[in-house]
Structure 1
């Protein structure tokens, strides 16, 4: 059998690399299977839409993907069987509704050799007869636009849990619009971080992001800070006057945190600004036309406050165009793991100690209720890292008798002290190696699962099993 010339092999590799790059630049899902449904080529958008790593996708068969719930239906096998183009609707694991089209590629003998499948986000408005519902739904841009940017934000936005991934998907869609957003979430869940995320992915990203905490301003200063004032407007006013925060946010984004704390008399003025997008400084008779996007946030129930008379009903309905709810940390244990590793890496770089998260510490983190949410977790991790600088490696910091300490001498591959049956030792080494990989990946479950050669769900099941075994031995 003649050997393939080396130059031909190099040309094939170049062509394959070029094809991979072209596929990965496409914003919509696209992948190629053989006639049996084995995935041969795909872009990262397809993988992200299905909530699976690209490496795992390239090892998969479309039958298994459907069986395991990554999407509701595959048309590739049907196209191969019918030897014709097949299209239809499907829903992915992230609840993205798509129109999928599978096109068979047939050789000269009439045999299907490959199937090319592409996906397009469906226009929800076309499936809704109600004009009101169409108007609401059409505020959202196509969801797959989020997928490319998610990769870019993986170092700043931690979203390992399904609920946070879906929230970020929705947030990215909303970011493309100018609609007013209200962020609901308990204290410490990261409402300002999400507000910055919305700004960063909006058409206003190059302009100012002005953050205002309505709870921190003295009541007599709130109006002058928000609206600004002319010179001599009141006793103590600057001789040059002052621009207000509304004006400072012109062409950018204004973030009003703790909006439930805004005094009632100012709520009526805010309502007028949102209706006219005009601002009049204190002591002035001139209305200034503004262009800004408003994002508000609160940990309170604004609708309930309208019933109590502490929040204006008309302002509530004016604000509540797009409400986004951030789940508390206790409801997303995958994010506890990822955030713990992220904060550890951040503080290790800042303070310099060579330390690692131990399984016991991480297990304690997962069992704790975290009433202060992400902010509390960050503070606890910083405290643990700082404690290691004080030469107290055996000291345990206890948080409500549930969060335990840090072993700065933890070594994932140290065999000394391991004993028992081969199964027990193998299990212990497996646990240590998994935590070592998680440390190296900064707690990113998907990346760690790829390096371990297992599915993300398998990795999470193993972590839960380790936790149960530790509980059983106590």
Structure 2
């Protein structure tokens, strides 16, 4: 009587549990199951009693089975099990020993973790997607660099900035090549800001601006009293200031052969002495050099050392002149017009005719010339709208279709049409397709086609 009562109580406790509980003997025969098992395995709990877990696995009720693993290991085992309807269960098997420490039962219980695993899968997919989006955003940023005037819409300039991004990740020496004013110093700063040394100093040395007799003292520094006129406290050099950062040697082609030797030794050893000093100093830095000279020609002419060239020319990056990247002109104009308008507190905009004139320029001074012109126009114009007459005379004269002195009696609309036609003719000669023309001029392709028809341009 008492035994029956105890037995019923145990059964009640077993069936009150919400988890799947299953008891087998060492042969895998199911002895007891909780009622919660029915919902999990889609099988009546009474029908499971007396069945073999090996047979149920073969039938696909659940897999893998835990019993043989617990029998072999004789310890608590946990694994993920899949049911016939695709549910995922976190199953734990516990060995039960008798008084002689002989394994007699395996008790397993499980938790439905389908939602948790789906959530984990979702989070993993989201992480992958976020990484992809992050990479894509980085790629898109590299297509249009508007930070500090870094703008690239033409393929040539995009390639420059992509290469700059790649080389920024390593400490290899970089040699920036290009005409004066193309933005070599901006690229150098861009590389520094994208590198692991971004928190270190960016020290720019204009090799062409420091008089030759003073170069060594300015670059390496000097000790007190090392020469007439020297500070009594001595002076730290530009090289030491670059510790942990980037040393940018601008106009490297202007260095004398004597100073080239000193720079070469310094780059190779990263060690130096101050002028008048006896203590050897070591600096950790990354070298970026720049020049508008043809260094290979200078080597042939014996004005530049070949060994220094090879040391600097590990990764050469040639920056195209502005005249070869006309599609960047309008974004550059927009950027610096906004920049100088905010700087001087003068909101300014450009008349369409002015934009056409700017597109037709040769820009011998490149981006630096463009920046100076935009700043000048913002500072000197008295009206919100900057018009053709506000341009310096030299810019008006170089554009043959616009001469206000000769066309003073013509309506402004006719003058602008004449300007627009000349710009389109110029673009037609330079680009093969109307799509390329539209990209360069900053307008849509249908607009280009319509204007070509309007002015009957072949």
* TM-score normalised per structure 1: 0.57
Query: 1:154 Cα shift?
Result: 3.3
Query: 1:191 Cα shift?
Result: 0.5
The aligned counterpart of 1:205 is 198
Does the CA-based 8 Å contact 2:143-2:158 persist in structure 1? no
Does the CA-based 8 Å contact 1:353-1:389 persist in structure 2? no
The aligned counterpart of 2:339 is 346
Match of 1:253 among 242, 246, 249: 246
The aligned counterpart of 1:173 is 166
Does the CA-based 8 Å contact 2:145-2:152 persist in structure 1? no
Does the CA-based 8 Å contact 2:251-2:291 persist in structure 1? yes
Match status 1:266 vs 2:371: no
Match status 1:311 vs 2:304: yes
CA distance in structure 1 between the partners assigned to 2:386 and 2:228 by the alignment? 58
Q: 1:393 to 1:194 in 2, by over 3 A?
A: closer
Who wins on radius of gyration, i.e. which is larger? 2
Match status 1:399 vs 2:383: no
> Equivalent residue of 1:360, what SS?
helix
Q: 1:455 to 1:193 in 2, by over 3 A?
A: closer
Query: 1:274 Cα shift?
Result: 1.2
The aligned counterpart of 2:186 is 193
Match status 1:239 vs 2:232: yes
Match of 1:159 among 152, 164, 172: 152
Match of 1:25 among 130, 139, 143: 130
| 1:358-437 pair list within 5 angstroms | 358-389=351-382, 395-397=389-391, 398-400=393-395, 401-402=397-398
Q: 1:20 to 1:203 in 2, by over 3 A?
A: same
Which ranges of structure 2 fall in alignment gaps of 5 or more residues?
Answer: 1-121, 403-411, 421-434
Q: 1:313 to 1:470 in 2, by over 3 A?
A: farther
CA distance in structure 2 between the partners assigned to 1:286 and 1:313 by the alignment? 30
Match status 1:461 vs 2:445: yes
| 1:257-296 pair list within 5 angstroms | 257-296=250-289
Q: 1:204 to 1:262 in 2, by over 3 A?
A: same
CA distance in structure 2 between the partners assigned to 1:238 and 1:467 by the alignment? 67
> Equivalent residue of 2:311, what SS?
helix
CA distance in structure 2 between the partners assigned to 1:148 and 1:391 by the alignment? 33
Query: 1:225 Cα shift?
Result: 0.6
> Equivalent residue of 2:290, what SS?
strand
| 1:116-155 pair list within 5 angstroms | 147=139, 150=142, 153-155=145-147
Query: 1:283 Cα shift?
Result: 1.1
After superposition, the C-alpha distances for 1:165-189 in whole angstroms (9 at most, x for unaligned) are 1111110000111111110011110
After superposition, the C-alpha distances for 1:25-81 in whole angstroms (9 at most, x for unaligned) are 30x5xxxxxxxxxxxxxx3644x6xxxxxxxxxxxxxxxxxxxxxxxxxxxxxxxxx
Over the aligned positions, Cα root-mean-square deviation in angstroms equals 3.7
The aligned counterpart of 1:38 is none
The aligned counterpart of 1:84 is none
CA distance in structure 1 between the partners assigned to 2:312 and 2:203 by the alignment? 18
The aligned counterpart of 1:218 is 211
CA distance in structure 2 between the partners assigned to 1:318 and 1:296 by the alignment? 11
CA distance in structure 1 between the partners assigned to 2:450 and 2:372 by the alignment? 25
Query: 1:150 Cα shift?
Result: 3.2
Greater mean deviation of Cα atoms: 285-294 or 195-204: 285-294
| 1:55-74 pair list within 5 angstroms | none
Query: 1:458 Cα shift?
Result: 9.2
CA distance in structure 1 between the partners assigned to 2:190 and 2:262 by the alignment? 27
CA distance in structure 2 between the partners assigned to 1:467 and 1:237 by the alignment? 67
Query: 1:351 Cα shift?
Result: 3.0
CA distance in structure 1 between the partners assigned to 2:200 and 2:285 by the alignment? 10
Q: 1:456 to 1:365 in 2, by over 3 A?
A: closer
How many equivalent pairs are there?
A: 303
> Equivalent residue of 1:199, what SS?
helix
Query: 1:460 Cα shift?
Result: 5.3
Q: 1:214 to 1:471 in 2, by over 3 A?
A: farther
Query: 1:293 Cα shift?
Result: 0.3
